[in-house]
Amino acid sequence: MAGWEQARRRYRLVHDVAGDFARNGPGALAEWRSAIETEFGGLDDLLRDVQRRFHTTAEARLDALIEAPPGDPEASVVAVLDEVAEIHPDLKRLLDAYADHPAVAEGTARLHRAVRAATGVDLTRTRNRTQPGRSRYEEKGPSRDRKPAYRARLRPVRAWLH
């Protein structure tokens, strides 16, 4: 039962910290420092856990996408990632604020490699759009050297993440 209780404490803490961060900005983390250090040992492991939760949702949805190949893989992958950002806006906001932090950058690079390997969609070539209603994962432009966007025989995204 100790493991289950720890998992529940961490779940609550991650969502409480992310929610407070979304409402009050970076200063909110100072109020949570003691709880973060007690439960996670520091900010690095909290950020990894936030990212793991966010990426787990994305991976599950991307696996479903791979099972039923889309007509436009790039748009479909972007739509999945946008959908996950809508499901977990507080987690996304925290991850975006710490995108350059080594713990977050490492996980982001791993997800991008996995998506590229599984779907052919290169998320490293995307950028945030500033126009409302448009995707945060817009591609900068066409690439002549890119492999086909979708390959018929793909393994699930999760297979490349571990």
- The DSSP secondary structure of 89-158, one letter per residue, reads HHHHHHHHHTTTSHHHHHHHHHHHHHHHHHH---GGGEE---STTS-TTEE-S--TTPPPS--SS---GG
Is residue 15 in a domain? no
Return the pLDDT at 144.
Answer: 36
Is residue 89 in a domain? yes
Q: Quote the number of domains for the chain.
A: 1
Tokens for 102?
């080594």
SS3 71: coil
Is residue 22 in a domain? no
Return the pLDDT at 125.
Answer: 76
Cα–Cα distance measured from residue 43 to residue 23, given in angstroms and rounded to the nearest whole number: 19
Return the pLDDT at 94.
Answer: 97
**pLDDT tens, position by position, for the chain (162 residues)?**
578 999 999 999 999 999 999 999 999 999 999 999 999 999 999 999 999 999 999 999 999 888 887 788 899 999 999 999 999 999 999 999 999 999 999 999 999 999 999 888 999 876 443 334 444 443 333 333 434 443 334 444 444 444
Is residue 16 in a domain? no
Is residue 69 in a domain? yes
Is residue 149 in a domain? yes
Is residue 38 in a domain? no
Is residue 123 in a domain? yes
Q: Which residues form the domain of 66?
A: 43-160
